[in-house]
């Protein structure tokens, strides 16, 4: 069995607030990565249809504000509904290429009524099957004005070649127990998605690699003021309120010893590649294994509830 895996980091600017165009851009990057032999491609947080940058810039905390309601309703209209098959074409494309993917989406969850939005990280395997949909456990600060709170259903790992891969959204990567839940499931390749900021990825990526003795892949998006479409509600007002560079990227990969495989890259779209070697993980686990020989389950342990939470349980 091969001991390596080729990963593609897709640092792209979403076609902001446009679900279909963003999905088409994702599909193009999948095709390009496949032509280079990639076995896993990773996209940033909420890349379809984009991160809610307007909230902080336009007084999003105003209660019952008509402007905020209208922007939110438009955001909702462009969100991904898995039950409606919004990712079916992407799944088919990945199956055709025999490639896996982690894709950050804004999910309009039919199992929660279809009107609340979740920041979700979707894993699709090389057979085109959705393996997990992780809804962000705790949206960060102003994100709570537009995203609902997730659950533990998507806190799962997946076998991919020689690796066991898991993923988290943005500041979830700072949550020790959330990380431990993936370590405990054998994770040795950790995927972290971000809306786009070097200040996030440059410090935490090597730290997580050293803590987990795993490869850690951080993938961010980009965003410029002019990416805001003028045909959306209050498009010009949102442009005027944002800085020229809203999100600067910072995608990177760290090795299990904390060294850079790919250092952070900023301020440009890119599709970068790296081949990682499973033996590197094995060597680093000799001295430290967070859930193996360097753990004390007789003293400390973690409970994980993977139930998909719902307000309605139908018994037939």
Q: Which residues are catalytic?
A: 45, 136, 170
* Nearest residue to 230 via CA among 18, 12, 66: 18
- DSSP reduced 3-state for 135: strand
Q: Distances in Å between the alpha carbon of 314 and those of 128, 202, 221?
A: 29, 46, 39
Asked whether 40 and 164 are in contact (CB, 8 A), the reply is no
Instruction: Determine the Cα–Cα distance for residues 232 and 53; give it in Å rounded to an integer.
Output: 14
Phi and psi (nearest 5°) for 110? Answer: -65, -30
- Tell me the three state secondary structure of residue 168: strand
178 contacts 157 by C-beta, under 8 angstroms: no
Are residues 222 and 249 in contact, defined by beta-carbon separation less than 8 angstroms? yes
Neighbours of 55 (CB within 10 A): 21
Q: Which residues face 9 on adjacent strands? A: 42, 272
Q: Which two tokens stand for residue 309?
A: 């939470």
Q: What angle do CA 160, 161, 163 make, to 5 degrees?
A: 65
Provide φ and ψ at 314, rounded to 5°.
Answer: -95, 125
Which is nearest to 212 in space by CA: 161, 148, 256? 256
């Amino acid at each position: 069995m091969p001991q390596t895996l080729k990963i593609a980091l897709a640092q792209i600017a979403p076609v902001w607030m446009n679900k279909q165009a963003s999905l088409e851009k994702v599909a193009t990057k999948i095709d390009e990565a496949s032509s280079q032999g990639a076995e896993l491609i990773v996209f940033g947080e909420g890349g379809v249809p984009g991160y809610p940058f307007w909230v902080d810039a336009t007084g999003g905390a105003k209660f019952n504000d008509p402007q905020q309601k209208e922007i939110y309703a438009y955001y909702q209209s462009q969100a991904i509904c898995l039950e409606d098959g919004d990712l079916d074409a992407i799944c088919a494309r990945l199956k055709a290429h025999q490639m896996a993917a982690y894709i950050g989406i804004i999910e309009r969850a039919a199992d929660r009524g279809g009107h609340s939005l979740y920041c979700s990280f979707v894993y699709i395997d090389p057979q085109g099957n959705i393996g997990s949909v992780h809804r962000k456990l705790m949206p960060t600060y102003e994100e709570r004005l537009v995203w609902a709170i997730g659950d533990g259903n998507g806190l799962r790992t997946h076998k991919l070649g020689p690796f066991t891969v898991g993923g988290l959204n943005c500041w979830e990567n700072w949550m020790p127990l959330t990380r431990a839940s993936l370590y405990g499931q054998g994770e040795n390749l950790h995927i972290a998605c971000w809306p786009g900021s070097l200040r996030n990825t440059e410090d935490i990526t090597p730290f997580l690699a050293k803590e987990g003795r795993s490869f850690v892949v951080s993938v961010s998006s980009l965003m410029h003021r002019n990416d805001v479409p003028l045909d959306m509600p209050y498009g010009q007002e949102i442009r005027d309120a944002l800085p020229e560079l809203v999100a600067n990227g910072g995608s990177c990969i760290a090795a299990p010893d904390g060294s850079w495989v790919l250092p952070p890259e900023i301020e440009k779209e890119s599709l970068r590649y790296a081949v990682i070697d499973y033996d590197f993980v094995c060597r680093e686990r000799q001295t430290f294994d967070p859930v193996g020989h360097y753990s004390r389950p007789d003293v400390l342990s973690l409970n994980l509830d993977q139930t998909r939470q719902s307000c309605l349980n139908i018994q037939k």
